[in-house]
Amino acid sequence: MATSKSYTVSQQPYQNGVNHSNNKILLRHPKTRRISGDQYSADSGSGSMVENQIDQSQMSCTGVHVEAVSNILSYQINLGEIGDEVSVGENSNEEYKDSQSKISKQSGKMRKRKDSVKVRLNKKNQDSPRSSAISRDSGLDVNTSPQSPEKVSPVTQAGHPPLQRTAKLSELCIVTIVIPATIMTGSRGMGASLQFRFGPYTKIEFLRISILKQFSERFKIPPSELSKLHLCHYLEEEEGWEWLEEERSLNHYNLPRECKVDLKQYDATYHDVRVVLPHLSRTLYVEFDQFSTCGDITRQVLEVGEPDLRARDGYNLYHVRNRQSLDVNESLVNYSILSDDILECRMALGKMQSVVIVVNIPSIKSIRKMKVSLDETVGELISTLKRRIPDPDNPKWRHMQLFMVSRKEADPGIWMDDYKFLASYKLQNEDKLEFKPKYRPMIFELSGGVSSRDVAYQNPELLIGENTTVSMVIDLLCQTCSLEYDPLFYGLYLHDEVELPKKAKLWDYLDGRFSYGYQDTMVLHLKPRPVLIQLEGNDESKSIMKFDFSLPCRILRNNLGRKFGLRNSSFYALKYQGFLLNLELSLHDQGVMEDHPVTMVRQDRRVSEPFSHEPPVATKGEATSDQLTENEIKKIQRESFLVEDFDCHIWLEGEDSDRNIRYDKKKGSKEVLVTAATFNKLVEKLTSSSDHDMQFVKTFLLTYQSFTTPESLLMKLIERYNVIRPVGMPMKNFSMFRTTIQVRVVNAIKLWMETGREFKDNAAMQENVLAFINDTLKYDHPLHCRSLRTALLVVKGVASKKMGKTFSEQPPAIKYPRKTGSVLSLFDFDPEEIARQLTIIDYSLFMKIKPSEWMNQAWNKSKKKHLAPNLLRMIERMNNLTFWMATAILSQADIQDRVRRIILFAQIAVHLYKMQNFSSLAAILDGFLCGPVDRLKKTFAKCDKSTIKKVEEMQKVFSPSHGFKALRQELEHASGPCLPYLGIFTSDLTHLDDGNKNFTDDGLINFTKCRLIYNRIRDFLIYQDNPYNFEQITALYNSLTKFHFLDLDTLYDVSQRVEPRAAGK
């Protein structure tokens, strides 16, 4: 008899990220089950649970994706190989029983029963070996009884049939055993299954042991996992489950000859799944146990989701990921249900028509036509699209949805819900859909005194829709992060401290330079309020500034120290209404009111904080020990010729003199050039407040590594940023003086990060720049924060740099091969097209060469692969092209084929010369001159003389005589795109580096050498600004990207074979 089943409904609140109530329906399967006259009792536990989510904004089935599920074929075990008849007994032999007893003992409930079946056997039968119903064919132990059927005494008890008799193969039961998908997934997304043949009188206990052994061996499942499982089968008429008692046989349960039996746990185990009612636009959450069938869940979901529905027989569950209708009599646990899977409860549809739609994917610039069936859901179409896009696991596809473009241009389109059928949108042929992000993830920073009580919300990330406004985000952040003040007091800011309008849409502020789905953090903090600040004893310093009252007073003090040009702000404190403010507390916490004065006063050095490297100040009136006077400068001034010696602060270097900087004035020109200087003076010149020479800036940033390190330069620039006020300079003039220098320091760091490679793999320097932005720059010059942060994020690879040039003209038409066929050789293409593809590849490598790779002969250093990776990659490609060309010629055994190859490469060289690709041209000309090819006199004699003459003329251009004079003239007169021969630059820069010293005799940096090197590298940079307008042919491009060639010794051997020495005589 099957277990009884009842359903109860209870109302309970449900929390799912937001506070709202839902209906909670519990499907209870009591654990009191009727088992062949015996009774197992257990406490009733909670069964399947369905939860109705009310929040309409969360009803879309986001997160639908396809995951690979291992398909395990069902094994069929054909038992009974002994002949037409098999002796079938009740028990297996004692040895096998003992070997498997450990598995059976691991389940405490397996042997629980109220009575036991006693079996009387005659003495002769007790002494004989016990037989098994399992064949050797299954890999299990098989023992046949030596007793003939006639000699076995039939024994019956409690209505049992005889315990042992002879069974024909045709009478064996075919039993399909299924285990839950949570333990092992088989085919079609269901639990793994095996098929067995057992005698009808096989004892359930030994049947179970045999089955568990096979599952363990076949699927490598640990016995500890299997020992929890017990046999049961589903009774369709009574809609319940029945356990198979281990002391009974298969025949006792009147199972059909071909039946299915499940392996389940006694104790209830619960799982969650989301069920969608597409026709109602409702989402329900179901908690089910191992006894919940798909039919149970379907009926209960319809009772909750659509209680007025009467005809429910036509509905069933549909697995969206597997595209599979679920069997109503099958346990849901037998299907592979992942945590984010979606089941649809829908009416079984008849045959639906198909339409051809146009799907646009803007992110990859793809437009494709697709034939879809209208009985598919939007989620299924999304899954199909994700399988056809490159890198589908990339996070940028996570929030992509389908947008239906309106047929009328004036009407806006609509977003398609992924749980609805395509038929519900009345799609027609040629309708247009767009596959694009419906939400964008944005990170928000809680700045200053704004902090969440929950650590998880310190930098919250929200999914922002295209219509989400600033005020909506502020309200949500205040509620989610439990912020202290009313949302009206908060503002949302970019890192340039520009407050976003409350009604503005956040999508309007996304930066296209950032990688898809990422956006630089926005900052939430209290709106700054005005405060009157003043330096004690200096009336002209009085001014009103806006400050965030939630920040600690220490930040305000340091900010004022830089504003007033103090040498060491740690010697100062803040005073309000006669009381000193606590630097660790905020203005708000200490009762400071808006527009009230806060004075910066000097403290006694003995009670001050440790010395910090901040600039001194010169106040009006009598000089104090904290001011920088001319006498003090002369007293502490010292020679700082060695760059590594940083004892001399940059603001203590003193005035310009022959001891620290030297100039050279060009004849007939007002231009004055720096010839030699100390490191401090070069940094001063780099960030001068009066004379800003951009040519000097570029020269310095490109060549500084010849006399210092990147870490030293960054430290010196930040030191320069902390400006001190010279003695006697009015505060108004100092404000402009300070601002100019600080802005030029920021611009120098930004240009340095954009043009150099020093920050790329240096995490310490990246953190130093970020700390400078967050701790200093955003309080002094917030408008410059965003540009510097963007440059830093480009270095980190988070944001992409806007590059590339658009062409006003169309590229030349592609010259496809005249030969047709499914298989084409590279050499079937036109020589001009081959030259174009070579040029495209060369320019892509050429563009990646950084200016720093030309410095200090980096290509010759021991760490050259790290210092000049792109330059070496370009040189390596030229060498490989030479060997590949020689291999292509010598691989032809027939002389006429070699002649055709030589003529082809000669034609390619002519086109490269016209395209001004002197890089690949040099490699091909070297291929003609390499020994294994050059010795083919007989082959060259059969070549067209005009072709050979053109090759010889181009070789004269590359003659190294007179320092590549002919080639230099070609480069000088080149117009349009050009790829120069790199050998000229390596030669020139080597001579400049070896022929000039880095330092003068008195220890100053030789900046004249830096300028000479920069001018030569600048000529190289000019060629990188003019790309080629050619169209790429993917197949040909890929063939030319990586060359396959023979080494030089092998080429000589091949050359000797194809044209022996005697053949040339």
Question: Residue 574 in contact with residue 600, Cβ under 8 Å?
Answer: yes
> CA–CA separation, 630 vs 621, rounded Å?
15
Strands 6-15 and 38-40, how do they pair?
A: unpaired
Of the ranges 264-278, 411-425, 635-649, 709-723, which is most confident?
A: 709-723
Per-residue pLDDT band for 895 (boundaries 50, 70, 90) equals: very high
Mean pLDDT in residue range 924-950: 92
Mean pLDDT in residue range 392-418: 83
Please count the residues of the chain: 1065
What angle (nearest 5°) sits at the alpha carbon of residue 92, between those of residues 91 and 97?
110
Position of tokens 């277990």? 3
pLDDT digits (tens, 9 = 90+) for 78-97: 333 222 232 333 333 343 34
> CA–CA separation, 228 vs 183, rounded Å?
11
Three-state DSSP at 197 gives strand
Burial class (CB in 10 A: 0-12, 13-18, 19+), 126: exposed
> What is the predicted pLDDT for the residue at 78?
31
| Nearest C-alpha neighbor of 937 from the set 1054, 1047, 1062, 1050 | 1062
Q: Quickly list H helices, 930-1006.
A: 931-934, 937-941, 945-957, 961-972, 982-995
> CA–CA separation, 209 vs 204, rounded Å?
9
Mean pLDDT in residue range 922-945: 92
Contacts of 952 (CB under 8 A, 6+ apart): none
Per-residue pLDDT band for 524 (boundaries 50, 70, 90) equals: confident
Beta bridge partners of 277: 282
Contacts of 584 (CB under 8 A, 6+ apart): 552, 553, 554
Left (φ > 0), alpha (ψ -120 to 50) or beta: where does 531 sit? beta
Sheet holding 529-535, edge to edge: 538-547, 529-535, 597-602, 572-576, 579-580
- DSSP E strands in 773-839: the ranges are none
Give kind and range of the element (H or E) at residue 905.
helix 895-914
- Beta-carbon neighbour count of residue 197 at 10 Å? 20
Give percent of the chain above pLDDT 90. 25
Question: Residue 980 in contact with residue 918, Cβ under 8 Å?
Answer: yes
Question: Residue 847 in contact with residue 1024, Cβ under 8 Å?
Answer: yes
Task: Evaluate if residue 49 carries a pLDDT over 60.
Answer: no
SS (H, E, C) 839-879: HHHHHHHHCCCCHHHHHHHHHHCCCHHHHCHHHHHHHHHHH
Task: Evaluate if residue 31 carries a pLDDT over 60.
Answer: no
> In Å, how far are 753, 879, 1019 from 850, measured between CA atoms?
12, 21, 13
Per-residue pLDDT band for 1020 (boundaries 50, 70, 90) equals: confident
pLDDT digits (tens, 9 = 90+) for 711-720: 999 999 999 9
pLDDT digits (tens, 9 = 90+) for 112-142: 322 322 222 233 333 333 333 323 333 333 3
Question: Residue 738 in contact with residue 565, Cβ under 8 Å?
Answer: yes
- DSSP E strands in 60-180: the ranges are 75-76, 85-88, 165-168, 173-178
Structural tokens at position 841: 């590849």
Mean pLDDT in residue range 677-699: 91
DSSP 412-457: --EEPPTTSBGGGGT--TT-EEEEEESEEEEEEEE-TT---SSGGG
Mean pLDDT in residue range 516-527: 68
> What is the predicted pLDDT for the residue at 748?
94
> What is the predicted pLDDT for the residue at 668?
65
Question: Residue 877 in contact with residue 1040, Cβ under 8 Å?
Answer: no
* Mean pLDDT of all residues belonging to the chain: 75
Question: Residue 522 in contact with residue 444, Cβ under 8 Å?
Answer: yes
Mean pLDDT in residue range 296-304: 86
Strands 597-602 and 529-535, how do they pair?
A: parallel
Question: Residue 602 in contact with residue 536, Cβ under 8 Å?
Answer: yes
> CA–CA separation, 995 vs 1009, rounded Å?
9
Of the ranges 66-70, 140-144, 1048-1052, which is most confident?
A: 1048-1052
> CA–CA separation, 736 vs 740, rounded Å?
6
Task: Evaluate if residue 447 carries a pLDDT over 70.
Answer: yes
| Stretch among 228-242, 910-924, 1038-1052 having the lowest mean pLDDT | 228-242
Of the ranges 38-52, 169-183, 944-958, which is most confident?
A: 944-958
Structural tokens at position 984: 């000229």
